[in-house]
Copies of this chain bind each other. A is one copy, B any other.
Amino acid sequence: MSDVHDLTRALQKKNESKIVLLVADGLGGLPQKPGDLTELETAKTPNLDALAQRGTSGLSTPVLPGITSGSGPGHLGLFGYDPLQYQIGRGVLEALGIDFELGPDDVAIRGNFCTLDEHGNITDRRAGRIGNDIAAPLCEKLNKIKIPGIEVFVQHVKEYRLVVVFRGPGLGGDVHDTDPQKTGVPPLVPEAKAPGSEKTIEVAHQFLQQARDILKNDSPANFLTLRGIAKRPPIPTFEEVYGTRAGAIAVYPMYRGLARLVGMDVLDAGQTLSDQCDRLKAAWDDYDFFFMHFKYTDSTGEDGNFEAKVQRTEELDAAIPRIMEQDPTVLIVTGDHCTPSKMKSHSWHPVPTLITAENCRFDGRPGFSEKDCLLGGLGQFEAKHLMLMALAHAGRLEKFGA
């Protein structure tokens, strides 16, 4: 019984508890220089501080120390799935990011429009970064491609980027990219990484042949490359491994998609955190577990905008009373990874995390910050164990052994 989910399957217990997992994307940060405060330490967060005073806090490691996590592994970890065991291909993430409902047999591909010269060599791997106005109609043309026995979907993402999905029986996902990663050479032909993807390669050939013909007069976007070819991994559902009915309240498609991957119901989240709180209230009786996602602590960090991240953190804090109105049995506030505005990117630093519940071992920390979490009762822990603690504090796990 080395898999945590073998344990949760064996120990799960039903009750009337309600768990809310509030993920502030990219929550933790860095001070601008030694001795300064982080974004979270700078923000005025009276509601989070009050939770910390009657809860327990700690620092979560998304994947491994020193490993900077993307949103996919970051969220899988928070959902209790080992991010090193359940790896999600880029094509799948790209499809999730446009709210495409991927089935278990679909092969998802990230496409890039590119420019070919008269010899068929690539001169621009991004087709001059064409605008949406040009790319979207081209995707509509490609979406009409027919391949016998296979459904083909082509959807525009942004600028030169698109998603291609092949749906049909017997398609494998182990196929190399056709992007040669340089110019002056032709696109690569689809080749297998491992056995079992012969049919996908044949389908990709036919797709590219038709695409070449369709796009031949659309220079600079007169062809496309296929990247991150992948199927969604087989992931056991939340309901199966934890015995909880889970609802996701996320504004951005990527996070709705990640929730869908683990079998959560994806609820209408509106556009704002306030809309999300309304949805939480309306759906309260329908689920045992709610995943709420707040994007802007990440995007402001990515922008390198310290002040904006502080302000967005305060916006998050202001929503806490709306959530507490529902009187959740367990409320967890955490992030999927840190996004320090100093770095303008995701980082590997451990993520501030807070649990409030009746049977917390209160650790007496006065507030919610990186420094407080460092001294908090949860210590430093692997994100994939957070769900065990959520279930424990909700009384949803039986004792292990006698």
Contacts and interface: CB of A to CB of B under 8 A. Distances in A.
A49 to B, nearest CB: 13
Given A73-B400, A377-B374, A67 B392 contact: yes
Contact of A69 (B375, B390, B401): B401
B374 A363 contact: yes
A359 B377 contact: no
A336 to B, nearest CB: 11
A379 interface: yes
Given A1-B87, A64-B388, A66-B397, A402 B364 contact: no
B401 A73 contact: yes
Given A64-B7, A359-B340, A402-B72, A389 B348 contact: yes
A347 interface: yes
Given A1-B84, A2-B84, A380-B379, A65 B34 contact: no
A125 interface: no
A129 interface: no
Interface string A359-402: 10111100000110011011111000101111111000111111
Contacts of A389: 65-66, 348
B362 A349 contact: no
A71 interface: yes
Given A64-B7, A388-B65, A402-B90, A361 B30 contact: yes
Contacts of A380: 379-381
Given A342-B359, A362-B35, A379-B379, A385 B70 contact: no
A235 interface: no
Contacts of A375: 374-375
A63 interface: yes
Contacts of A2: 84
A354 interface: no
B359 A67 contact: no
A24 interface: no
Contacts of A66: 385, 387-393, 397
A391 B66 CA distance: 7
A232 interface: no
20 contacts: A1-B87, A7-B64, A7-B84, A11-B67, A30-B359, A30-B362, A66-B391, A68-B392, A68-B400, A70-B401, A71-B401, A74-B401, A93-B401, A343-B359, A346-B399, A361-B370, A363-B374, A375-B375, A379-B379, A380-B380
Given A348-B389, A374-B377, 5 more contacts: A31-B362, A34-B54, A68-B399, A74-B401, A349-B361
